[in-house]
Chains A and B, each alone.
Chain A
Amino acid sequence: DVKVTQSSRYLVKRTGEKVFLECVQDMDHENMFWYRQDPGLGLRLIYFSYDVKMKEKGDIPEGYSVSREKKERFSLILESASTNQTSMYLCASSWGQGAGEQFFGPGTRLTVL
């Protein structure tokens, strides 16, 4: 069974803290994605990766960075968390070029105080 797991379901951090969100997939997928989901805005792409050590900016990369040191793991980093980064963060993965389906993790609800 296809599985994407995220390290935390809920996270509370303080403004200015460095935050790490981890995502692991067990399907040997080439592509991995980080989205944030906000009411009325849908899913917005933050960063994505096609291969190990490779990353590309999505639509809203400001304030975020990513790391992909191993194929199965994709980390989202908030260098200095701010209150406007309070959101639901979703990780997804998919097979390589041409395939459409993305498989999502359950999400991490991050609150920045």
Chain B
Amino acid sequence: GIQVEQSPPDLILQEGANSTLRCNFSDSVNNLQWFHQNPWGQLINLFYIPSGTKQNGRLSATTVATERYSLLYISSSQTTDSGVYFCAGRGYNFNKFYFGSGTKLNVKP
């Protein structure tokens, strides 16, 4: 299967700080997505970004498909950004969804 490596595994930020989360894939994937798992356990869709750059408020994401990585940028972090951020991509064979182990973010007031 495809290996998905996320970094850093843990991140502590002061409110207002910026951060970059990274996701590397061992093989080409399509349908790359970023999710936020909030403290209640819900998996919230952040971005569907097979390639290119997208922005949504304070969050933006960039995927460089040819180099098999994606970045998630969080600017002016808020305490509500705390939780675990996952990236996931589907392999070209059978479309299985491969998840990274997540980045656990704690934003302190």
Q: Do A and B bind each other?
A: no
